[in-house]
Structures are given as C-alpha cells and as structure tokens.
Amino acid sequence: MKTAMIVWGGWPGHQPEACAGICAGMLRRHGFEVRIATTTRAFADPAIHALDLIVPIYTMSKIEKDECANLDAAVRQGVGLAGFHGGMCDAFRDSVDYQFMTGGQWVAHPGGIIDFRVNIGRPDDPVMAGLADFDMRSEQYYMHVDPANQVLATTTFSGEHAPWTEGVVMPVVWKRRHGQGRVFYSALGHVAAEFEVPEMATLFERGMLWAAR
C-alpha cells in the first residue's frame, strides 16, 4: 500500500483543513494510506523518508532549518511532493531551499479574484490527457518560476489590473525533478470550492499520482 502525508496549516484564508480533506479523499480512492499532520514539525520526522508522497498545504508561516533539511533530503531520495496554490508555493517565504525544491514562489495576484483562462500546454502528457483549455475564477498567480520546470499549463495576463504585465504568459501547472523525487505543482486552488471545477480537480489528482514514488 502506498503511503502519503498531508501537512496543513498556516494562513486560514486558503481553507487548508477543508482542502486537506479533499486531497486525502482523492488519495484514499487510489488505495493510499494517508496520514494528516498540522504542524511543520512533521517535516522533521525521519519516518517521512519511507513515504511515497508528501502534500504540503501550509500558506506563509515558517519552516525551521532542520524541518526543511529533512524534507529536502526525503524528496531528493525519492519521496514525491505535490501541492497547489499558496499551500505549496507561497509557503515559507524566507526559505530559499524550499523554493529551490518546489520550483516557484508566488509574488502577486493582480486584481484579486478574477476570471481568467488556463491554457493546456502539453496535451500529450498523461497528467493533462483529454483536458482542454478552461476558465477559472480565482487568483491568477504571478510567480517567480524555475526555468527547469516542465510546464504543463499556462495563463496569459491581460494587463487590466497591472498594465506592465499585459501579454505575460505565466506557468500555472508544472512538474519537475528534485534529486530522485518527483515534484508537481498547480497554482489553482485558492479555496476548497475550486476543486468543484472538474479540470482543476482532475489535473491535481493525476499530478499527485504522478509525483508519488
């Protein structure tokens, strides 16, 4: 049986507990044994090296050096890492080691909650198979991203809310390697209700399965 750990906490506006429940349900449907933790101390546990997947849902907050070092080592050695929105890529803003592992960091969402289009960039990839471009109403994340990411979907900024961003094509979904570990990220998922968008939920569920060892 595959094993996963979901660690939720941090800023409550992203509804981390509700999102953790949704992600746990997805994984359990695929036969995973899922452990839930609510403190970053879980990342320091040597037992995480035996997991198949870790899902952080922990916006902002702080990760201690020993916690990040152990998490980084586990992923480098093959544990999968998958996350979404601020729960993974606006977590632990002061940890460049964490950002190096995840492949990106949120910096802005011009306009707040707006309507935007998600464009599928790799329809041949198994994570995106059968999905077409789709509309979202959410925060359109403007991010600093690692050019080594394998980008699976993008969004284009209109410039309506920040004119200097007009025409910028921004990664929304990517996957990458970190050592032996697989890392998956989707910028979608501001609140739990966004998992009701079929395309958003499908690509994240598939992404978790892809990332798992």
> Which 3 state secondary structure label does DSSP give 3?
strand
Measured in whole angstroms, the distance separating CA 44 from the mean position of its chain's CA atoms is 20
Domains detected in the chain: 3-211 (3.40.50.880)
Q: What integer pLDDT is reported at residue 182 of this predicted model? A: 98
CA quadruple 175, 46, 59, 57: dihedral sign: positive
> Which 3 state secondary structure label does DSSP give 17?
helix
CB atoms within 10 A of CB 185: 28
| The pairing of beta strand 150-156 with beta strand 80-84 | unpaired
Q: What integer pLDDT is reported at residue 10 of this predicted model? A: 98
Contacts of 94 (CB under 8 A, 6+ apart): 62
Q: What integer pLDDT is reported at residue 154 of this predicted model? A: 98
Q: What integer pLDDT is reported at residue 51 of this predicted model? A: 98
* Amino acid residing at 85: H
Contacts of 29 (CB under 8 A, 6+ apart): none
Helices (H), 77-180: 85-89, 96-102
pLDDT tens digits in sequence order for the chain, 213 residues long: 999 999 999 999 999 999 999 999 999 999 999 999 999 999 999 999 999 999 999 999 999 999 999 999 999 999 999 999 999 999 999 999 999 999 999 999 999 999 999 999 999 999 999 999 999 999 999 999 999 999 999 999 999 999 999 999 999 999 999 999 999 999 999 999 999 999 999 999 999 999 999
Q: What integer pLDDT is reported at residue 201 of this predicted model? A: 98
Dump the DSSP string for 67-91.
HHHHHHHHHHTT-EEEEEHHHHHTB
> Alpha-carbon distance 108 to 165, whole Å?
11
Q: What integer pLDDT is reported at residue 25 of this predicted model? A: 98
Exposure letters 115-146 (e unless 16+ CB within 10 A, then b):
ebebebbbeebebbeebeebebebbbbbbebb
Which of 98, 85, 48 is closest to 189 using CA atoms?
Answer: 85
> Which 3 state secondary structure label does DSSP give 32?
coil
CB atoms within 10 A of CB 25: 12
